[in-house]
């Protein structure tokens, strides 16, 4: 009788331990794989719109590019290595540079007003974006490269102090042709023409699609700010860049911050 009791007790202990293990594992699985409450995509868009006007200082209805806190960055794979080559363009702007304006300017700051844009958060058909970079202001942080091999590789000339070089051999520019909603996020798709001479005999225009992100309006002290971030990729071989140091694809990121001071 005593032997039977001991066996019964052992069986009960094993069953209780097994139940505790199973319950513990089930609980652990629930934490790692929670049951989703919704499979829908939540997209929220406000009704903000932003226009540059004439960029009159003190007029809070006119938005100005805060160039000091903006940037145009580039990156590409270094061929034959795992790392990236990266840099930025020191001189850029948001202006539609037509042929008549593609000249040298005796200026150290913005030669043209940053007024060639408009953004409507809830109606992208009204939005547009035009801009440019000065190729010879590519800045990798290595002066020997920036004023040396990069100049020849990119088909331009060195910076001339006291001037802004907006000639066709030193200009890469974009002009949007369509901006539309991304149906799967709060972002936008931008179709635009990229025009650049590179190492070609004449500027070439390619149609590219990029992604635009809107950073909504917020207030800082006694003024407001907002941001636009455009990302896209180009194939530098299309523009005659044959350097074996860089890969075909160049990633571009334009971070544009605005204020209404």
Average pLDDT over every residue of 168-182 = 98
Is 134 within 8 Å of 104 (Cβ atoms)?
no
Domain membership flag for residue 161: yes
Q: Which is more confident, 210 or 25?
A: 210
For 120, how many CA atoms within 13 A lie in the half-sphere containing its CB? 10
Buried b (16+ CB within 10 A) or exposed e, 240-250: ebebeebbeeb
40-69 in b/e burial notation, b at 16+ Cβ within 10 A? eeeeeeeeeebebeeeeeeeeebbbbebee
Domain match, 26 and 61 both: no
Domain presence at residue 41: no
For residue 27, tell me if it sits in a domain: yes
> Number of folded domains in the chain?
2
Q: Residue 71 belongs to what domain range?
A: 49-259
Name the least confident of 4-18, 154-168, 172-186: 4-18
Domain co-membership, 249 together with 133: yes
Q: Are residues 22 and 69 in the same domain?
A: no
Which helix (H) or strand (E) element contains residue 154?
Answer: helix 150-154
- pLDDT one-digit tens code per residue, 156-174: 999 999 999 999 999 999 9
- Whether 32 maps to a domain, the answer reads yes
136 within 8 A of 163, measured Cβ to Cβ = no
Quickly tell me which residue has 């071989």 as its tokens.
237
Query: Does residue 251 sit in the same domain as residue 152?
Result: yes
Is the residue at 90 inside a domain?
A: yes
Question: Tens digits of per-residue pLDDT, 102-149?
Answer: 999 999 999 999 999 999 999 999 999 999 999 999 999 999 889 988
Q: What is the pTM of this model?
A: 0.83
CATH of the domain at 103: 2.40.128.110
Whether residue 130 sits in one domain with residue 221: yes
**Is there a single domain that holds both residue 31 and residue 102?**
no
Mean pLDDT of the chain, nearest integer: 88
Residue-level pLDDT at 8: 55
20-42 confidence digits (pLDDT tens): 444 444 443 344 444 444 456 78
């Amino acid at each position: 009788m005593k032997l039977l009791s001991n066996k019964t007790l052992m069986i009960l202990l094993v069953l209780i331990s097994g139940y505790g293990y199973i319950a513990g594992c089930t609980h652990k699985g629930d934490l790692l794989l929670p049951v989703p409450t919704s499979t829908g995509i939540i997209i929220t868009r406000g009704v903000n719109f932003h226009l540059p006007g004439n960029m009159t200082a003190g007029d809070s209805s006119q938005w100005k590019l805060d160039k000091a806190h903006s940037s145009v960055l580039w990156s590409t794979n270094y061929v034959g290595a795992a790392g990236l080559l990266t840099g930025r363009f020191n001189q850029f702007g948001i202006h539609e540079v037509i042929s008549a304006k593609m000249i040298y300017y005796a200026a150290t700051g913005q030669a043209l007003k940053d007024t060639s844009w408009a953004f409507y958060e809830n109606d992208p058909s009204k939005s547009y974006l035009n801009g440019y970079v000065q190729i010879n202001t590519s800045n990798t942080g290595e002066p020997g490269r920036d004023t040396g091999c990069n100049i020849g590789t990119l088909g331009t000339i060195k910076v001339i102090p006291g001037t802004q070089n907006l000639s066709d051999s030193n200009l890469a520019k974009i002009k949007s042709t369509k901006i539309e909603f991304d149906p799967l996020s709060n972002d936008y798709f931008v179709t635009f023409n990229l025009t650049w001479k590179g190492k070609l005999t004449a500027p070439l225009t390619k149609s590219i699609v990029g992604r635009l992100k809107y950073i909504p309006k917020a207030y800082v002290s006694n003024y407001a700010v907002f941001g636009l971030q455009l990302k896209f990729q180009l194939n530098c071989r299309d523009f005659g860049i044959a350097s074996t140091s860089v890969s075909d694809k160049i990633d571009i990121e334009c971070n544009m911050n605005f204020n209404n001071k």
